Amino acid sequence: MSIAIIFDVSEQIDDLVKNDAPFFGVLYEYYLNFVLFYGNLFSPLLVFLSVIFFTSQLASRTEIVAILSGGISFNRLMLPYFIAATILAAMSFGLNNYLVPRANETRIAFEGKYIHTYKRSLTTRIHRQIRPGEMIYFDKYNRIKDIGYSFTYELWDGIDLKTKIFANYVKWDTINENWILENYYIRHYHEDGESFIQGQTLDTSFAFLPDEFSARVEDIQMMNVHELDDYIESEIIKGSKNIPFYLIEKHSRNALPFSTYILTIIGVSMSSRKVRGGLGAHIAAGLALAVTYILAMKVTTVYATNAGLNPLVAVWIPNVLYGCLAVYLFAKAPK
């Protein structure tokens, strides 16, 4: 994590200096939470390397041979590893779902103020359901000025269109907290025909607010498990295109702590055998395995976000694959 901070400082130093970021803010608001977030994110891999380092030391000194020769089974040898893995996995689960989201609030707010000061102002082709039967569309939306262009609102009753509103643009009125439609027309559809209303300006309200269009995918990192569930439910109703990202975040918070067990079994099984090269050979093999694990996580995530793979399946595929590898290595470990 110290190395990660050094690289991050070298990358962010220009923005921090240019925006007059306070020293204690950088230290306590940003990097303290930076370490908490990324340290927890990579905790299973850090545990994996720690297990390899410790067990390789035992194997190189023939301690494991002595333990097994003394009548202690390999399963009994694994018991303290599993106790430690359980404690660390429980801590990671709690951090993932409760503490880290609160820390991310401070970190992301600091980033927005002093690092990522730019804000992408224009979003194009917004099409979503705000409530069951209520659809809106913007050709473009300016998130700085809170102005939407080529706005359309549709109210459906089952399969029939009841009302359609079109406006050249709509603007959020911060004083009255409602929407102002400019150059609008409204069509109401009835069983015996339709009615048409046209005007220059109309103050009205809808079941959506400007904040909904300034939300970023990264904002889910600031939500605890209950807030995330509620947010995903509301976004599903709205038909958000980012649902796979939200579900990946949700399932990753559970899959990541569980991987601590799998990587612990692999680490002990790999490094409990005394080999030529000793600690160096075990660490090299462990790093290679860690890289392939991260690669598998990235590949399945890309498939979930771009190829329609179920996010739950995508998140758990690496654990299943490496779980099978753990069973195989455990069976081959010296008994």
Same structural domain for residues 131 and 181? Answer: yes
In a domain, 313, yes or no: yes
Q: Please state, in angstroms and rounded to a whole number, the distance separating the CA atoms of residues 213 and 204.
A: 18
Predicted confidence at residue 180, as pLDDT, reads 92
Q: Are residues 158 and 186 in the same domain?
A: yes
Query: How much is the average pLDDT of 277-286?
Result: 77
Q: Does any domain span residue 225?
A: no
Residue 18 has pLDDT above 80, yes or no: yes
Q: Are 55 and 271 in contact (CB under 8 A)?
A: yes
- CA separation for the pair 205, 177 (Å, rounded): 8
Joined tokens for residue 313 = 């399946």
Place of tokens 């979930």: 304
Dihedral of CA atoms 270, 271, 272, 277 in degrees, nearest 10, equals 120
Containing domain of residue 48, as a range?
Answer: 2-115+239-332
Q: How far apart are CA 205 and CA 134, in angstroms?
A: 13
Residue 76 has pLDDT above 60, yes or no: yes
Alpha-carbon gap, residue 246 to 304, rounded angstroms? 11
Same domain, 175 and 138: yes
Predicted confidence band of residue 120 (pLDDT cuts 50, 70, 90): low
In this structure, is residue 26 part of a structural domain? yes
Taking the C-alpha atoms of residue 150 and residue 66, their distance in angstroms, rounded to an integer, is: 77
Lowest mean pLDDT among 142-151, 234-243, 257-266: 234-243
Tell whether the torsion through CA atoms of 134, 140, 143 and 148 is positive or negative. negative
Average pLDDT over residues 220-238: 88
Asked, for residue 90, whether it belongs to a domain, the answer is yes
Q: What is the pLDDT of residue 121?
A: 64
Alpha helix positions (H), the chain? 2-18, 23-24, 32-41, 43-60, 63-69, 74-94, 100-110, 211-214, 225-238, 243-271, 278-306, 311-332
Please report the pLDDT score of residue 31 as a whole number: 94
How many Å is the maximal CA-CA distance in the chain? 92
What's the confidence (pLDDT) of residue 194? 86
Percent above pLDDT 90 for the chain: 41
Bridge partners (DSSP) of residue 164 are: 154, 187
Q: Say how far apart CA 332 and CA 96 lie, in whole Å.
A: 34
Q: Cβ atoms within 10 A of the Cβ of 125, count?
A: 10
* In a shared domain, residues 111 and 126: no
Does pLDDT of 264 surpass 60? Answer: yes
Q: Are 103 and 30 in contact (CB under 8 A)?
A: no
- Mean pLDDT over residues 220-228, rounded? 91
Using 50, 70 and 90 to split pLDDT, how confident is the model at 87? very high
Is the four-CA dihedral 104, 110, 112, 114 of positive or negative sign? negative
pLDDT at 117 over 70: no
173 close to 163: Cβ distance less than 8 angstroms = no
Last residue of a domain, one of 198, 213, 228: 213
Is 303 contained in some domain?
Answer: yes
Q: Which residues pair with 173 in a beta bridge?
A: 178
* Res 278 pLDDT > 70: no
Average pLDDT of 67-85?
92
Region 293-310: mean pLDDT is 86
Q: Which pair of tokens denotes residue 109?
A: 């707010």
pLDDT band at 235; cut points 50, 70, 90: confident
For the sheet with 147-157, list strands across it.
122-131, 134-142, 147-157, 160-173, 178-190, 193-204
pLDDT digits (tens, 9 = 90+) for 157-208: 878 889 999 999 899 988 888 999 999 999 998 888 888 889 999 998 888 8
Number of domains in the chain: 2
Evaluate whether residue 148 is within a structural domain: yes
- Same domain? For 161 and 109 the reply is no
Whether residues 83 and 131 share a domain: the answer is no
Look at residue 223 and tell me if it is in a domain.
Answer: no
Q: Give this prediction's pTM.
A: 0.77
- Helix (H, G, I), strand (E, B), or coil: what is residue 275? coil
The reply to whether 197 and 271 lie within a common domain is no
Q: Could you tell me if residue 229 is inside a domain? A: no
**Residue carrying structure tokens 């612990």:** 264
Residue 46 is encoded by which pair of tokens?
Answer: 């850090």
Q: Measured between alpha carbons, how far is 63 from 42 in angstroms, rounded to an integer?
A: 29
Mean pLDDT, range 208-236, rounded to an integer: 83
